[in-house]
A and B are shown apart, each in its own frame.
Chain A
Amino acid sequence: MSSEKLIYLDNNATTAVAPEVFEAMRPYLCEKYGNPGSIHTFGGSVMAEIETARARIAALIGATRRDIRDKFTEVIFTSCGTESDNTAVFSALRACPKRKKVVISAVEHPAILTLGKELEKRGYPVSYVPVDSKGRLDMERYEEMVDSETAVVSIMWANNETGNIYPIEKCAEIAHRYGALFHTDAVQAVGKIPCNVSDSEIDMLSLSGHKLHAPKGIGVLYVRRGVRFYPAQIGGHQERGRRAGTENVASIIALGKAAELAMKSIQDENTRVKALRDKLEQGICGSIPKAMVLGDPENRLPNTSLIGFEAVEGESILMMMDRLGICASSGSACTTGSLEPSHVLRAMGVPYTVAHGAIRFSLSTYNTEEEINFVIKEMPGIIAWLRKLSPFWKETPVS
């Protein structure tokens, strides 16, 4: 595997564990295997390391409030972003039992979107904030949807497919105006753009380790101090009873290290990586006819580019790219086994001619200019070949 060339442009799906992160977590899988809940020094001393990790994550998201014992208790470790999302929404519904309404955006990750559908089945009225053709939230409709019956609003900080960044501070303010709790799924945002909860009215925030160079299987739920919280998982006293279950020590340490690295690399993300992303976009759209960038050009994550290629189908494109060792994703139907293009593209009203051929490139600080040049060089041939096969690519392609 490692001898073959691999160009990994699928960092919104998952990221490589940073070597420093792996080194930091390794001892906790080997010699330091103690249980942080133990009385003996061997186990109990691990707790201090967990608290260091917690402090690093608190610093990354600006969760700077501490409790009387000087602990950053707003940060709760979970198993993944989805667990954090689910816990947040269910907790909010229990916190305000008299309110039933839930407001989410139409372009949420399935961790929230499918939960919304499930809540509808259980009798909760759920509203979905629409987006425009560039995937921007319809803030007017949003404000109409939130009212004094609304228990919780959950809107993602940044979209995984388009990379669009949403005006979360403003959304939180509006939710609070009506007394609703506000949660944000910040899985794609944390580590890529500055996220500061202390500047905002955000009540709860989810993040996931494997999107920022920590391993899979570790997540965080931030709960602002003073927000009523109901745990989803009941058992031992871990995480002060807010999330029972023996701590995933090695992964927690890893996430702490990853957060520390992200504080430094965020600068690189927003300068060098952004420049590479822009170069990739310009290179592809400049050399391939009827290729277009989807999403909001003004407010996007610096690493993400969603490009629609007319008259060709995404899975075919990805498989041709895969032969060259280039990894990316597609919003097309066929790649997932579902039969429809992604809900995000449909919510944006992207024409089917383009939606089926949308490819998402997502970079990280590990990508190089050489890799980007290679992709720019290879893409035109792939698209031209598939268009040659396509009955829709004629002298007059649909526009």
Chain B
Amino acid sequence: MWDYNDKVMDHFLHPRNVGEVENPDGVAQVGNMSCGDALKLSFKLDKDGRIAEVKFQTFGCASAIASSSALTELVKGMTLEEAEKVTNRDIVAVLGDLPEAKLHCSVMGMEALQAAIANYRGGKNPEGHEYDHEGRIVCKCFNVTDTKIRNIALDNNLHTVEEITDYCKAGGACGSCHGEIQDILDGIWKEKKPETHSSKRAEFMSLPLIQRVLKVQELIDNEIKPMLEQDGGGIELVDMKDNVVYVKLTGHCVACPSAGVTLKRGVEAVLRDCLFPEIVVESV
């Protein structure tokens, strides 16, 4: 029994934007029948270049359907430049949460969106996504390439084979590629860790607690608050523990359906840019 939250169940039982857009500007299908889930996404732009209409058809489990539905709500009204930046984390944020083993459903949403945009821009083959054709196939059971594994690991800060399986299925069947996936992960994080991530983090963490709090508070007051106040929202710093910053959203943010996205793409992104990339923002 999966522990789906009400939001996921709502999107599963009452999916938004089901079907196919007529004469679409961009269309793509990712996944396939043998993998057990597939998503066909089509969209149409308005004269300002914003996504005016977007529809989906999904074969898959409840979370695949919910992720697709959430994706369409999320991107409606976005420009393609904005839509391009949507990640699977944003989809999860709209849904509140997904069981770990179902995170690959949100990745499928992101891939379909990127493939549909690529289709619009380059008239690419709407049946597949560039990830799927780039690189060398590592997981033969689910046809996942090293490029895709690397991208997903970097986008989502994944460090274990198990996490990779949750996000893109690679390694989830026969298991013979676990060693190779581990090698890819070792490659990424060995290169990355010493220079970028940890040094900035270590530098920040070496400050006394009061200074750390002041720095975060300053960023919230000067960078984040003005952004939220435009929409009648607000934010308060509650606590900090290691790399986790606890905040309380106030004003219009409290009842806003996009609060999850705001938290991750607004607040978290600013703090990560200015302080260090492992910062996680949680609302309390």
Q: Residues of A at under 8 Å CB distance from B?
A: 311-316, 319, 323, 332-335, 337-341, 352-353, 356, 388-392, 398
Contacts and interface: CB of A to CB of B under 8 A. Distances in A.
A325 B57 CA distance: 27
Majority-rule SS of A interface residues: loop
A332 to B, nearest CB: 7
Contacts of B37: 313, 334
Contacts of A341: 36
The 9 A-B pairs of least Cβ separation, nearest first, read A339-B172, A334-B61, A315-B61, A391-B57, A391-B40, A390-B59, A352-B34, A333-B36, A340-B173
A347 to B, nearest CB: 14
Contacts of A312: 59
A315 B64 CA distance: 10
A352 B141 CA distance: 13
Interface string B16-53: 00100000000001000111111110000000000000
A324 B100 CA distance: 27
Contacts of A340: 36, 141, 172-173
Of B29, B34, B141, the most chain A CB neighbours within 10 A belong to B34
Contacts of B29: 391
Interface in B43-74: 57-62, 64-65
Interface of B: 2, 12-13, 15, 18, 29, 33-40, 57-62, 64-65, 101, 141-142, 165, 169, 172-173
B62 A319 contact: yes
A235 to B, nearest CB: 36
Contacts of A334: 36-37, 60-61, 64
A341 B34 CA distance: 9
Main secondary structure of the interface of B (DSSP, over half): mixed
A10 B53 CA distance: 42
Nearest to B142: A339
Given A390-B59, A391-B39, A353 B165 contact: no
Contacts of B172: 338-340
A315 B169 contact: no
A218 to B, nearest CB: 24
A316 B141 contact: no
A98 to B, nearest CB: 33
Contact of A353 (B33, B57, B58, B62): B33
A389 B61 contact: no
B59 A313 contact: yes
B36 A339 contact: yes
Given A340-B172, A340-B173, A341-B36, A390 B62 contact: no
Contacts of A392: 33, 38, 59
B246 to A, nearest CB: 31
Given A319-B62, A389-B57, A337 B101 contact: yes
Contacts of B33: 352-353, 356, 392, 398
Given A339-B165, A391-B29, A319 B12 contact: yes
Nearest to A398: B33
8 contacts: A313-B64, A315-B61, A315-B62, A316-B65, A334-B36, A390-B57, A392-B38, A398-B33
A338 B18 CA distance: 27
B36 A311 contact: no
B59 A311 contact: yes
B140 to A, nearest CB: 12
A339 B102 CA distance: 10
Nearest to A320: B13
Nearest to B59: A390
A314 B37 CA distance: 11
A316 B67 CA distance: 13
Nearest to A351: B33
A312 B58 CA distance: 9
A78 B142 CA distance: 40
Nearest to A315: B61
B129 to A, nearest CB: 15
A340 B38 CA distance: 14
B58 A390 contact: yes
A356 B36 CA distance: 6
Contacts of B57: 389-391
Given A333-B36, A334-B36, A389 B169 contact: no
Contacts of B142: 339
A323 B4 CA distance: 13
A192 B40 CA distance: 45
Contact of B60 (A316, A323, A353): A316
A340 B171 CA distance: 11
A341 to B, nearest CB: 7
A353 B2 CA distance: 23
A389 B59 CA distance: 7
Given A313-B37, A319-B12, A339-B36, A388 B18 contact: yes
Contacts of B2: 315
Contact of B61 (A313, A338, A388, A390): A313
A185 B173 CA distance: 25
Contacts of A315: 2, 61-62
A352 B165 CA distance: 20
Contacts of A338: 172-173
Nearest to B57: A391
B169 A339 contact: yes
Given A332-B36, A356-B33, A391 B59 contact: yes
B81 to A, nearest CB: 27
A323 B13 CA distance: 10
A311 B40 CA distance: 14
A318 B118 CA distance: 35
B72 to A, nearest CB: 12
A341 B60 CA distance: 12
A339 B40 CA distance: 20
Given A337-B101, A389-B57, 15 more contacts: A311-B59, A313-B36, A313-B37, A313-B61, A313-B64, A315-B2, A316-B12, A316-B65, A333-B36, A334-B64, A335-B61, A339-B141, A341-B36, A391-B39, A398-B33
Listed residue (A316, A339, A352, A388) with the most chain B CB atoms within 10 angstroms of its CB: A339
Nearest to B15: A389
